[in-house]
Structure 1
């Protein structure tokens, strides 16, 4: 009798614990989206217009940044929920398709510098969280000029994205996700190959130049090569460079890397990112 009573008690307790666990609220998608947009994804680094003193007040994510390069003169769009000049009339599905596939609601292709090749890997939950947060951003009426492309845009960047799972629970896998779809670090830090596409055989090899008011900056080799890369940097030095823009030797690094945004990245994401960078093949 005692054994049976004890078993019934254990079963009841387990059911109560299970019910409590199932009743726990899921993580707030808006909070997750805010973290992604404002920190690790650094969307404002391109979508918030800037003046001599930095971001223009009251213009967060209102677009208008100009990227004038040989293949294009791209103007970042307004991604606030303004119904006339922003994304206020786009559905969630249309926004997700624009972010991951580079397609507007009318079916036209969005051009570079948006790294769609990487954004296709955004997980379903993360891209939905980003959209949920963008809905909460104060709408800003700001009509921007159309982008001009001197290269043909592809009809599509790949087949429709059906579903993307979250990365595996492994530091390197999570770091690869942070460096790729989320933070798109490898977009700027991987050299260009033939045909205007990244040479993914040299991931993290650096070398791309960026011109701006600061002059010319060159994307660093972020592979663990001991001389050409960051192989001799400590984890703390790598994280300082990402979040504060200070090199291992104390030099201040140049834009366009969004140090102020990356300063808001979580310790866990930064540790995973370092683990991934350590795993890259060294590129001389």
Structure 2
């Protein structure tokens, strides 16, 4: 369970990126967050694992406040949260297997990781994760020899090898062609359904949101303006979410 309690983010220039967000996301949900660029989607997503520090409120992960956590406690909470980026975030000169194994660094000492001393159990977990996304045959190929879609599936495998209970995906298919987009989204949905891993995905595409989400959250200018099922997300709802007119009582956001 992830709970956001009265969460706000104010940037150093005074711009409000999030405004009084109250959300509860249950285990096993497939949540898609939609909205215009600058609506606050990425700010919300990155605040969950503290890539961005919030200004007000509290974020609770499985009954533990990640907002207040420090040191080893913060480290342990973050191990449960996998992150998938639009640009894949891989070490391009390393093999696919080594990139997936990097998801295990939170479980071992820095010294062991510098030397690349991963136990056999970790290597088996990494190969199993690659099988999950149908790319195990690429394990010993350098990441920069893969297509964009294959690289994104490596990043999904890395989150699986990490042992994530939650996966946050920030525009994971924005740079992919339509066919590859559907393959990656199908992987995420299958993992969600088979492993009961909670998915929180930022998307621009209305069609993808309706196709894959069990729940859609619409954001506009740092606020949640819709929260419901894909069936409830009608064309009228999306017109409201994507309306470009600025209401005088709505704060501007600093960016994603």
TM-score range, shorter chain: under 0.3
Q: Which has the higher contact order (CA 8 A, sep 6+)?
A: 2
TM-score scaled to structure 1, two decimals?
Answer: 0.23
TM-score scaled to structure 2, two decimals?
Answer: 0.24
Write 1 or 2 for the structure with the bigger share of strand: 2
